[in-house]
Every structure is written in structure tokens, then in C-alpha cells.
Structure 1
Amino acid sequence: MSNQADHTIVRLRVPPELKEKIEKAAEENNRSQSAEMVSRLEESFQQNNNATDKFIEDLLKQLKIEYASLEVKYQTHQKTLENLEKTYREHLNMYEKQIQFMNQSYESQINNLLNALADYKK
């Protein structure tokens, strides 16, 4: 790699076995050892980015699944609440009718007693 303004020289110590692997890979890829090292370093950063992107993607999928599950539970609870409210209103209406009937019945009985008492006094 030439000493260009868009590149910086970095001295790097590597074990001999790694140096041999770099030489072999550079030859196989038809590029300089410097270009091979730069390419592999860039690839490692890209893999990290890809891993992060995959993690975020998987996390979003999991959140969507969890949201869908919560939505189903919410709908179920809403339906249960609606049914409870309906049952409550029905019972309340029934009790109100029973109370009205009892009031009318008591009123009628009281009137009958008052009439009987009035007839008795005559």
C-alpha cells in the first residue's frame, strides 16, 4: 500500500504463523499484504455491524410477537369486561323491576288494609 494522504501507516507486530496466513491469503486474493489486512479488518467491523443489526432485527421481531400477544390479552379482557358490565346492567334492571313490583304490591296491600279499616269504622 502506498503512502497516500487517505491512508495512515500503522506498525503492527503479529506472530509468525499469522504473518504466514496473511501472506498466503494476500497471494490467493491477488493483493498486497497491507490490502489483505485492511480488507480483513474492515470485514470484522462489518461483521460486528451485521451482528448488531441482526440483534436489533431479532429484538424487534420479539417485541412485535410480544405486542401481538398483549393485544390478544387486552381484547380478551375488554370482552370479559363488556360481558360483566352487561350482566351487571341486566341484574340491576331485574332488581329494579322486583323492587317496583314489591312497592306496588305493598302499596296495594296497604290500600286494601286502609279500605278495610275504613269500612270497619263505618
Structure 2
Amino acid sequence: MSENQKDPQYKLRWSEELRDKVVESAKERSRSINAEICKRLEESFEQNQNSFDQGYETALNHAALAIAKVLSKKNVEWPEIQKTALFMLEEAKNIKKAP
């Protein structure tokens, strides 16, 4: 690596069609091809984490609703249902935060 080039480099094999798409996108955003590729890679990692987080929250909400429905059918009082559902949601969030 030269003095000016400190970042690692990677030789990429890709189709002409994909390269053309990246070149066009880079031009539209006034970026270099390298900057466009790096930006898109970074965004893909953020998107994956956001998708997981959203899916996790949705699953928790569905589980809480299912528990509430079961408890309701067993004639459990609404305040107890709320207390149970909130406890479950809080515990699940704590589990997610744990290392």
C-alpha cells in the first residue's frame, strides 16, 4: 500500500450490468464508485439490524396478544391480563439486551 492509500483494497468480480447500475447510482448521488459501494454495504448492515429489531418487536406484540386472548378466555380479569402481558414484554426486552 502506498503512503496515500491506507485502507485495504479488494478486487471485485462483478457483472457489467451490476457495474453499470452502481456507476449510474454513484453519478446520481455525486459519489465515486467506491463511495457508492461502501455506502450501500453500510446501509445493508443497518437495514438487517433494523429488520431484525422490527420483527422482534412484532413477534413480542403478537405473543402478548395471544397470551391476553388465552387469559381472557379463561376469565382472568383484565388488570391481571395487562400485568401479565406487560411483564412478559419487559422480560423479553431484557433478554434481548443481555450480552
State TM-score, norm by structure 1: 0.54
Other-structure match for 2:64: 64
Counterpart CA distance in 1 for 2:76 and 2:64 is 20
User: Identity, % of aligned pairs?
Assistant: 34
Counterpart CA distance in 1 for 2:40 and 2:17 is 16
Larger Rg: 1
Counterpart CA distance in 2 for 1:77 and 1:42 is 48
Q: Which runs of 4+ in 1 moved over 2 A?
A: none
Counterpart CA distance in 2 for 1:20 and 1:38 is 16
Matches within 5 A, 1:72-87: 72-74=72-74, 76=75
After superposition, the CA RMSD in angstroms is: 2.0
Other-structure match for 2:43: 43
1:69 deviates by 1.3
Other-structure match for 1:25: 25
- Structure with greater helix percent: 1
Query: Any unmatched runs of 5+ in structure 2?
Result: 78-99
Q: Which has the higher contact order (CA 8 A, sep 6+)?
A: 2
